[in-house]
Structure 1
Amino acid sequence: MDLTLPASIKPWLNFFHPLLMWILLGLSVYAMYLGVQIRRTREAQGDTKKELIKGKFNLKHHQIGSLLLALMVLGTIGGMGVTYINNGKLFVGPHLLAGLGMTGMIAISASLTPYMQKGADWARVSHIALNTLILGLFAWQAVTGMEIVQKIISNL
């Protein structure tokens, strides 16, 4: 299949995925902060708990988490699509495989929400473990992604 795009657009498509992923890395750190605040709220008592509840960390965490899920899935598909459009193939390697794994893990992590809302500690622990792993892989992906970006720039 030959997907022909104007030559002026093709090179710039390469930078959409990395830019989106760096934004998502920042949002992931913010989502982690919100999750920690939710845990602090749950464990707090008295006036401290009342003050923390005013922060609406639970709502913000759910909103950012939903945005992360949607954009990570779209960013993964988009990155693979642009690679295929520009090269006629995907480069199967650690960056692609880790990205696909992260996409699956964030879907599983999000699917634990109903169980956490019912108070299941196993779901909460699993959610935290998956998201910690995702964040670690995300940081590693940022480094390997910049190596790929440098290769693309050198070939322009």
Structure 2
Amino acid sequence: MNIALSPSVKYWLNFFHPVMMWALLLFSIYAAYLGLQVQRTRHAGGEEKKELIKGKYNVKHYQIGSILLGLMVAGAIGGMAVTYINNGKLFFGPHLLAGLGMTSIIAFSASLSPFMQKGANWARMTHILLNFTLLGLFAWQAITGVQIVQRLLTNA
């Protein structure tokens, strides 16, 4: 399958996925901060808890997490689509496999929300473990992604 796009459009499409993913990495760090504030609120007491509740960290964390889920899945599919459009194939390697793993991890992590809302501590701990694993993979993906972008720039 060969989609008829101008060489200029094909070239610039290569950079949509990396730019989007770097933005999502920063967004993920913010989501982690909000999650930590939710935990802090949960374990606080007295006046400190009242102050933290005003921050509505739980609502913000849930909303940011929902946006992250949608954009990360779209970004992963978009990155694979652009690679396929430009090369007629996907490049099987660590970057692709880790990206697919990350997409699975964020979906599984989000699926724990109903259990966490009912107070299931196992779901909360699994969610935290999955998301810190996701952040680690995401940071590694950023590095390997930069290497891919450098290769694209060198071959241009």
Q: TM-score, normalised by structure 2?
A: 0.99
Aligned to 1:29: 29
- Structure 1: segments with no counterpart, 5+ residues: none
Q: How far apart in 1 are the matches of 2:143 and 2:2?
A: 31
Q: CA deviation at 1:54?
A: 0.4
Q: How far apart in 1 are the matches of 2:7 and 2:32?
A: 40
Structure 1 residues 21-46: Cα deviation after superposition (integer angstroms, max 9, x where no partner): 00000011000000000001011111
Q: How far apart in 1 are the matches of 2:53 and 2:103?
A: 31
TM-align CA RMSD: 0.5
Q: CA deviation at 1:3?
A: 1.0
Following superposition of structure 1 onto structure 2, how do residues 1-156 of structure 1 map, counting pairs within 5 Å?
A: 1-156=1-156
Q: How far apart in 1 are the matches of 2:89 and 2:4?
A: 14
Q: CA deviation at 1:87?
A: 0.4
Q: CA deviation at 1:6?
A: 1.5
Q: How far apart in 1 are the matches of 2:132 and 2:51?
A: 27
Q: How far apart in 1 are the matches of 2:28 and 2:131?
A: 9
**SS of alignment partner, residue 89 of structure 2:** coil
Q: How far apart in 1 are the matches of 2:130 and 2:4?
A: 39
Task: State the AA in 2 paired with 1:113.
Answer: S
Q: How far apart in 1 are the matches of 2:52 and 2:116?
A: 19
Q: How far apart in 1 are the matches of 2:52 and 2:18?
A: 35
Q: TM-score, normalised by structure 1?
A: 0.99
- Structure 2: segments with no counterpart, 5+ residues: none
